Amino acid sequence: MPPFSSSSPSPASPSPLSHDAVVTALRSAGCVFAEDEARLILAAARTPAELAAMVNRRVTGLPLELVLGWAEFHGLRIAVEPGLFVPRRRTEFLVEQALAVAPDASVVVDLCCGSGAVGVALAAALGSRGRIELHAADIDPAAVRCARRNVAPYSGEVHLGDLFEPLPDSLRGRVGILAANVPYVPTDEVGLLPAEARDHEPRVALDGGPDGLDVLRRVAAEAPRWLAPGGCLLVETSERQAPKALEAFTGSGLSARVVASEELYANVVIGLNQP
């Protein structure tokens, strides 16, 4: 479709700043929730030119969250940037499970943190119960930069490196909640993902190796050395992968189970480090 123009319309045309004009542009591009998206874009745009640019980015396939510069996650606005993994609504289920299993946790680590959404959501929920020590880590420098913006209000630290490698040694044996939103798409299936993920999110945040469990296995193997007695490891996976993921947890000595949400189409493996 032609670009969305910010020029003055003819008297018979709707204003480019009108809700209807934006909805029409988004709907023509195939946006299923065009009404809701139009409302958010109109609220964010400060000028007609900015509105036109935002709508153009959306109709050419950029995820809405990257157009807006933020994603809603667990009741919070999480800053996101182009080239980063966008936090998914289904991952809120992982956060809820962590809070249910370890409501008194005081040390939280968010591995493969991306924007830091999971760690921030946990810190926000746990912070009302006492001081929270929050650490996050990612191998992608762009993710680390963005996560630092998001964790700053919670006095969190974000570390650049591969999984546990950049974490301070002082965390060993102290972590109450270890959340790892690892990549778990099998390599051969990355090309089958929706275009919004396939074309706009880093492959390192999606590709989990031949069976999708390479990173999960590495996290499960090392987690017991970092968890406090009674601490928990939580990792999101797919229903199909859950049995093998469970094996990786129990193989490392964790007491493990799988929980699922049909509503959010989410599957989370929970491992407890028995005292």
Of the candidate ranges 59-63, 163-167, 239-243, the one whose mean pLDDT is the lowest: 59-63
Share of the chain above pLDDT 70, in %: 93
Q: What is the pLDDT of residue 153?
A: 94
Specify the amino acid at residue 124: A
Residue with tokens 């542009």: 25
Quick check: helix, strand or coil at residue 173? coil
Query: pLDDT for 178-219, tens place per residue?
Result: 999 999 888 988 888 877 778 777 788 887 889 999 999 999
Instruction: Quote the pLDDT of residue 19.
Output: 82
pLDDT at 6: 40
Please check the confidence at residue 7 and state whether its pLDDT lies above 50: no
Distance of CA 239 to the CA centre of its chain: 19
Confidence of residue 129 (pLDDT cuts 50, 70, 90): low
In tens, the pLDDT along 150-160 reads 999 999 999 99
Q: How many residues does the chain have?
A: 275
Non-local CB neighbours of 206 within 8 Å, separated by 6+ positions: 85, 183, 185, 190, 193, 197, 198
pLDDT in tens, 81-109: 988 889 999 999 999 999 999 999 999 99
Q: Structure tokens of 117?
A: 């959404």
Q: How far apart are CA 233 and CA 208, in angstroms?
A: 18
pLDDT band at 72 (very low <50, low <70, confident <90, very high): very high
- Eight-state DSSP code of residue 274: -
H or E element at residue 92 = helix 92-101
CA distances from 218 to 105, 162, 163, 212, 213 (A): 23, 11, 9, 12, 9
pLDDT of residue 137: 98
Q: Are 90 and 265 in contact (CB under 8 A)?
A: yes
**Assigned token pair, 140:** 């992608």
- Tell me the per-residue pLDDT of 214-233, one tens digit each, with 9 for 90 and over: 999 999 999 999 999 999 99
* Alpha-carbon distances of 60 from 2, 4, 11, 50, rounded to whole Å: 10, 11, 28, 16
- Other CB atoms within a 10 A radius of the CB of residue 30 amount to 10
- Report which of residues 92 and 18 the model is more confident about: 92
